[in-house]
Amino acid sequence: MLKSRRRENNSRDCGRNEALGRDLERIIKESGVESCSARRSRRAASLVKRVRDHAQRQAGIIVVMDMVISNLQQQRQLTEQLRREAAVKRVSVSKAVEDLMKYIVEHEQEDCLLVGFSSQKSNPFREKSSCSIL
């Protein structure tokens, strides 16, 4: 019985305290004077906003850094490819033509199109014989 009365009294007191707190906040707002808790909560909200803004800027910086790193890797690969191509031994066109002519002259006797075929059966370009029905 005593416990239930205490609970009732406590709940009434809590309700009164909440009402008093709301009234006090309203009076403070109307008077234009800030309480310490209001200043603290405003500062906390400002700090939270600054932290969120900072996190968003950091996320943007990270995305940009990832793009820069990716672009840098592509540029390195391109540079390496160009270095490999530049290191390839080049032959002038006139030298290549001379080498081709020399090869043709040296292998002239082996060229079946110039010399001809030893037998008609070894000629891959001959006309195929038609099938005849027996």
Number of domains in the chain: 1
d(CA 17, CA 31): 21
Half-sphere exposure of 106 (CA within 13 A, CB side): 6
For residue 114, tell me if it sits in a domain. no
Assess if residue 113 is contained within a domain.
no
Query: Does residue 62 belong to any structural domain of this protein?
Result: yes
Predicted TM-score (pTM) of the model is 0.32
What's the alpha-carbon Rg for the chain, to the nearest Å? 48
Q: Contact at 8 Å (CB) between 109 and 115?
A: yes
Q: Which residues contact 117 (CB under 8 A, 6 or more apart)?
A: 123
pLDDT of residue 86: 92
Please, which pLDDT band fits residue 95 given cuts at 50, 70 and 90?
very high
Domain membership of residue 124 (yes or no) is no
Tokens of 122: 């070894």
